Amino acid sequence: MDLGLENRVILVSGGASGIGAAIVDQLKAENAQPVILDLSEPADSQQNFFTVDLCNDSDVTDAIHKIRERFGSIDGIINNAGLNDSVGLDSTREKFRVSLERNLVQCYGLVSTCLDDLKKTRGSIVNVGSKVADTGQGGTSGYAASKGGLNALTREWALDLAADGIRCNAVIPAEVWTPMYEKWLSSQADPESRKAEIESRIPLGPRMTTASEIAAMAVFLLSDRSAHTTGQIIHVDGGYTHLDRAYRG
């Protein structure tokens, strides 16, 4: 399906690896111009890449200025960067604030910096959230609060920006197989058994979601094929988030 994204300039925060890299790949397949904003360099040195600390206002402002100069316009933003940092109730207030900065405030900062650009192009925003905002996880108050806040901002921005023709939606992953997830799983006492246990709770499959499946939804929501869709929070998770917790297949 041609999503009509040819030559559109799309910013992808955290686009160097994992779900972000999968989003970049799908944007390239649609002949868009993905621009990666990340602290880590992508494996492919041919990518459009800017080293940015998204929690640093001047870093973001400088990067957006350079992007305007190089590309001339910004047609969309995918807020993908974030980290499940295990900042729980036993952490300090300062660590909680840092978690909010890292996982929520930086999304606000990027969108607000690019707002005039998006208004000119009638662009689109896609936020990548987490099932933790819906289900909880335990031991990660900062991340849970941030992703809950990102869901709220998705609906707030959809209303704020509707008159400007700017759409805002969110994609919610649950158990997604990425290098980061694989690294975490390898730290478990019995990785294979733990993986099987997790997959047994996913109704459709049962298997983990792939990064490319998250990317496909994010890119679709960014495109004109979803031109009348805004304020939606869409779970791409094989039914995991909404299952009855007594479910065992």
Per the annotation, the verdict on 143 as an active-site residue is yes
Q: Which residues contact 112 (CB under 8 A, 6 or more apart)?
A: none
Nearest residue to 80 via CA among 195, 178, 206, 224? 178
147 in Cβ contact with 129 (< 8 Å):
yes
The encoded tokens of residue 108 equal: 């606000």
192 class by beta-carbon count within 10 Å (0-12 exposed, 13-18 middle, 19+ buried): exposed
The three-state (H, E, C) secondary structure of 214-227, written as one string: HHHHHHHHHCHHHC
Q: Note whether 44 and 57 are within 8 A (CB).
A: no
Choosing from 108, 143, 181, 247, the catalytic residue is 143
Known catalytic residues are 143
